[in-house]
Amino acid sequence: EQIGNSNDYIVTFTVTSHVPEYLVVKATLKGSDDVIFPYGNFVYTGCLCPNCSKNFFWEIQGPENGILIGKAEVVSEENICPPDVEISTPVYKVCIKREIVI
């Protein structure tokens, strides 16, 4: 989403679970050399409930044809999900690549 008429954008990265288990997800965003993260390129870790989606946000500056690569992976971090739920660490991976023109 472009902010005003500038080269500033808010990038929303949505991670969706299609499994009936709690997952701890680490989300990262990588940009081409001409993409700037003025407030930092954060790594987010969050609890994803069964069959739910979670949004992660970054503010970037860059050209209209910048390249962004989002990555979400299931990790075994502790103390992310509520203590009364059991988390799962699946052994399978799903990789989806999609070019996003900004």
Q: What is the CATH number of the domain that holds 93?
A: 2.60.40.10
Give the integer Cα–Cα distance in Å for 21 and 2: 35
Which H/E stretch holds residue 73? strand 68-75
Residue at 20 is within a domain:
yes
Give the integer Cα–Cα distance in Å for 53 and 17: 6
Six token digits for residue 43: 């790594």
Q: How far is CA 98 from the centre of its chain?
A: 14
Using one digit for the tens of pLDDT, what is the confidence trace for 64-95?
777 888 888 888 888 999 989 888 776 555 55
Residue at 2 is within a domain:
no
Six token digits for residue 64: 């209209």
**In terms of residue numbers, what domain contains 79?**
7-99
Using one digit for the tens of pLDDT, what is the confidence trace for 31-54?
888 999 999 999 999 999 999 999
How high is the pLDDT of residue 49?
A: 93
Residue at 1 is within a domain:
no
Global pTM exceeds 0.85: no
The total domain count for the chain is 1
How high is the pLDDT of residue 18?
A: 87
Provide the β-strand partners of residue 2. 9
